[in-house]
């Protein structure tokens, strides 16, 4: 099956938000599972990642992913990692050609950044913890350290869980209200003491407040489209043992 790659016109460098279509995995991982941290067969994950690297027109080793920990930490990627352990971080920046930055998600926001004038790219994994802690702003700061101008940076949020599928409890909401009472605008609906959190609007608001040139969402909800996207929350609701990871990539 052919890979399905979503793109955004505002990112005028090679990039892609890959769906689960076109992969070698089976079972609950059926499709393009690119997560080595999953319990999927290693050979299938390696084959899937190789297909992604081929689609991005680089060698397999040039596809760089990190050990994501829901942190605000950002690293600079200057070369392929090879056999080296991936660094622990949730954001990456680079100005090195032939290196592809890859972010793994399954409901969290994959965010791709580019300042094409300066030749600097970035990628971030932003779940609620990372976004609240500032991973988006730190990625922008790290891009500026490499010569980017935030006013020229375009950022695109890829397939993520939408508000209608993201029900949370009062303790979750309190974390955001403690940080900024104005965050109440990102919560609505729900039954009883439950509310629904708009992670994507929260991410867009923080990106725009950081003063970048453009920020948008591709408009795809991971939870509500099981044929195209993996979803951690959906896997929990369906009592599945594990779940696949989507990959989003960008290069110069």
Instruction: For residue 89, tell me if it sits in a domain.
Output: yes
Q: Please report whether residue 118 resides in a domain.
A: yes
Rounded CA separation 101/62 (Å): 9
pLDDT tens digits along 199-236: 999 999 999 999 999 999 999 999 999 999 999 999 99
Show the domain range for 16. Answer: 5-160+213-250
d(CA 226, CA 233): 11
Residue 188 belongs to some domain of the structure: no
Tell whether 93 is covered by a domain. Answer: yes
Residue 59 belongs to some domain of the structure: yes
Tally of structural domains, the chain: 1
The answer to whether the CB of 122 falls within 8 A of the CB of 91 is yes
Q: What is the pTM of this model?
A: 0.97
The pLDDT, as a whole number, for residue 1 is: 66
Phi, psi of 240, rounded to the nearest 5 degrees: -85, 150
**Cα–Cα distance between 123 and 121 in angstroms, integer?**
7
Residue 214: how many other CB atoms lie within 10 Å: 15
* Per-residue pLDDT tens digits of the chain, which is 252 residues long: 699 999 999 999 999 999 999 999 999 999 999 999 999 999 999 999 999 999 999 999 999 999 999 999 999 999 998 778 899 999 999 999 989 999 999 999 999 999 999 999 999 999 999 999 999 999 999 999 999 999 999 999 999 999 999 999 999 999 999 999 999 999 998 888 999 999 999 999 999 999 999 999 999 999 999 999 999 999 999 999 999 999 999 999
Contact of 142 with 89, CB cutoff 8 Å: no
Would you say residue 28 lies in a domain?
yes
In three state form, how does the secondary structure of 195-244 look?
A: EEECHHHHHHHHHHHCCCCEEEECCCECCCCCCCCCCHHHHHHCCCCCCC
**CA 154 to each of CA 47, 64, 117, 151, 208: distance values in angstroms, whole numbers, following the listed order:** 31, 21, 11, 8, 10
Residue 206 lies in a domain: no
In a domain, 237, yes or no: yes
| CATH at 113 | 3.60.140.10
């Amino acid at each position: 099956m052919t890979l399905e790659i979503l793109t955004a016109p505002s990112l005028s460098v090679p990039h892609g938000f890959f769906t689960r279509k076109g992969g070698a995995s089976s079972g609950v991982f059926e499709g393009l599972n690119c997560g080595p941290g999953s319990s999927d067969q290693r050979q299938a994950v390696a084959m899937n990642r190789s297909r992604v690297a081929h689609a991005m027109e680089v060698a397999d080793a040039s596809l760089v992913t990190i050990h994501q920990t829901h942190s605000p930490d950002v690293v600079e990627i200057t070369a392929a990692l090879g056999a080296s352990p991936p660094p622990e971080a949730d954001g990456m920046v680079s100005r090195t050609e032939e290196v592809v930055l890859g972010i793994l998600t399954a409901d969290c926001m994959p965010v791709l950044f580019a300042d094409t004038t300066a030749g600097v790219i970035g990628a971030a994994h932003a779940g609620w913890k990372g976004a609240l802690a500032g991973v988006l702003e730190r990625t922008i700061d790290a891009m500026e350290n490499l010569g980017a101008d935030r006013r020229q940076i375009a950022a695109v949020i890829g397939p993520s869980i939408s508000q209608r599928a993201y029900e949370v409890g009062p303790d979750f909401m309190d974390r955001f209200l403690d940080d900024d009472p104005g965050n109440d605008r990102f919560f609505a609906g729900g039954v009883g003491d439950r509310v629904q959190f708009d992670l994507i609007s929260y991410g867009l608001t923080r990106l725009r407040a950081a003063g970048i040139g453009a920020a948008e969402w591709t408009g795809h909800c991971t939870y509500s489209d099981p044929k195209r996207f993996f979803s951690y929350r959906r896997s929990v609701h369906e009592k599945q043992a594990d779940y696949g990871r989507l990959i989003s990539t960008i290069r110069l």
